[in-house]
Structure 1
Amino acid sequence: MTDSPERITLAGRLRNNFLTGLIICAPLAITIWLTFAFIDWADSWVTPYIPERYNPQYYFDIAIPGTGLLIAMVFITLIGFLGKNLIGRSVVKFGESILHRTPLVRTLYKSLKQIFETVLKDQSTSFKKVGLIEFPGPGTWALVFISAQAQGEVAARLNADGEEMIAVFLPPTPVPTAGFLLFVPKSRIIMLDMTPEDAAKLLISGALITPPWTPKTPLLTERPGDGTPEPA
């Protein structure tokens, strides 16, 4: 005689329904809150500089969320368009020449410009690939975002033995907004197929959310430093 299935009490049903509703509502509510928080932040920066006659709030006497953000996007796009023609490039070069002569400001401006040019240019592969490295010691693996090949003095000093070095960013869990910049030999990195978005989900969730993956061929893993492939 088989045991009868365990009956769920009313309190248990209410608890399960509450958790199901929480799973549905919480991500939606947080997404909406973050979206409006970003819009309000952008509006608070841009709206005070909009002349009243160009501000829709002046005519409708109500706050219209997103007005400042929309105007900022149009303004940035217009600057990008003007910066591509001869006159616009001349104005940009003149402004940059003034910044380059200003102490402290020139260092900050050059650094920020180089970062944005590297990350946003179409050919850039920075932070578009994900890998695994042994950290903090052998046998323990950490998820990293591939930044770029080592360059300049770092490359000259670390590549002296012919080993190509790669700059990687190692973020913490569960808030991957800061982390460590590491230079790792290319042969010591296991490249992954997952996207940076899936890697971010894995990090933020503490490995509770694992992206689906189907290998195209039978997987053979090669441990860094060992040329013998082994079945996964």
Structure 2
Amino acid sequence: MRKYLIAGLLVWLPLAITIWVLHAVLNTLDGVFEALLSASQAVLPEAAYAPLQMLKQVPGLGVIVMVAGLLLTGVFAANFAGQWALRQANHLLTHIPIVKSIYSSVKQVSDTLFSSSGNAFREAVLVQYPREGSWTIAFVTGKPGGEAADHLHDDYLSLYVPTTPNPTSGFFLMVPRKDVIVLSMSVDEALKYIISMGVVAPPPHAPRAEPQALRDARNQHG
């Protein structure tokens, strides 16, 4: 009986968690949509607002509206007029006390993470952490900059070491490039490996060619 219970659990647990996550996301987006509708009540006349109340009863409409809003915002931001308007809005927000510190920090992080030309979170590596001889998977986020870079005279990488099973928390490390092993697995495969605590291993890959700079650094150190 224990064997059959575990087999049944393995069938239903992934499906139940998937449904739970999707349900939570839908509820969150629907909640945002309802908040926007409630806010519109203050600026719209009663005759125009009354039909909008019926939209709250449509399940999943918040997802469609949010996706459409993101697409329209992207189209607007991609043209000349939209870029000018965004520059003016950024200038305004970066000169408001308290708001500017939060907005500037979040914008800098989001621009770094989601920029198509950036290198953040596009490569998984092996690094010794938290002690020598103990290895973990990390993600390259770039190279050290600012005052930290002035004190690091060798070739260093900035790494994010996620925790398991929750990869949204972790540690920031600055490690010499020569001490890092580049992995052939994709970032998605590495995340699955971390979240599953090593249970879901990625398929074997052909070894990735070692960068010339990394080979030179290894040769210099023996």
Q: Do the aligned partners of 1:169 and 1:180 also contact (CA within 8 Å) in 2?
A: yes
Aligned-partner Cα distance in 1 for 2:8–2:77 = 50
The alignment status of 1:167 with 2:161, answered yes or no, reads no
Aligned-partner Cα distance in 2 for 1:226–1:126 = 24
Aligned-partner Cα distance in 1 for 2:131–2:72 = 50
1:33 corresponds to: 20
Q: Name the SS for the 1:168 alignment partner.
A: strand
TM-score (norm 2): 0.82
2:140 corresponds to: 146
1:197 corresponds to: 188
Aligned-partner Cα distance in 2 for 1:74–1:147 = 30
Point out where structure 2 has 5 or more consecutive residues left out of the alignment. 38-48, 209-213
Q: State the Cα deviation string for residues 21-67 of structure 1 (Å, max 9, x = none).
A: 21111101110110011110111112232354346536xxxx33221
Q: Do the aligned partners of 1:40 and 1:65 also contact (CA within 8 Å) in 2?
A: no
1:3 corresponds to: none
Q: Do the aligned partners of 2:120 and 2:142 also contact (CA within 8 Å) in 1?
A: yes
The alignment status of 1:180 with 2:180, answered yes or no, reads no
Deviation, structure 1 residue 102: 0.7
Point out where structure 1 has 5 or more consecutive residues left out of the alignment. 1-13
Q: Do the aligned partners of 1:47 and 1:67 also contact (CA within 8 Å) in 2?
A: no
1:6 corresponds to: none
Q: Name the SS for the 1:46 alignment partner.
A: helix
Deviation, structure 1 residue 92: 1.8
2:55 corresponds to: 57
Q: State the Cα deviation string for residues 92-111 of structure 1 (Å, max 9, x = none).
A: 22222221211121122111
Q: Do the aligned partners of 1:133 and 1:143 also contact (CA within 8 Å) in 2?
A: yes
TM-score (norm 1): 0.79
1:78 aligns with one of 68, 72, 82: 72
The alignment status of 1:43 with 2:26, answered yes or no, reads no
Number of equivalences: 203
Aligned-partner Cα distance in 1 for 2:104–2:78 = 20
Aligned-partner Cα distance in 2 for 1:74–1:150 = 37
The alignment status of 1:106 with 2:104, answered yes or no, reads no
Deviation, structure 1 residue 88: 2.1
Question: Using a 3 Å threshold, how does the CA distance of structure 1 residues 216 and 193 change in structure 2: closer, same or farther?
Answer: closer
Q: State the Cα deviation string for residues 176-225 of structure 1 (Å, max 9, x = none).
A: 211110000111101111112221222222212211214369xxxx9xx8
1:18 corresponds to: 5
**How much identity, in percent, do the aligned residues show?**
28
Q: Name the SS for the 1:175 alignment partner.
A: coil
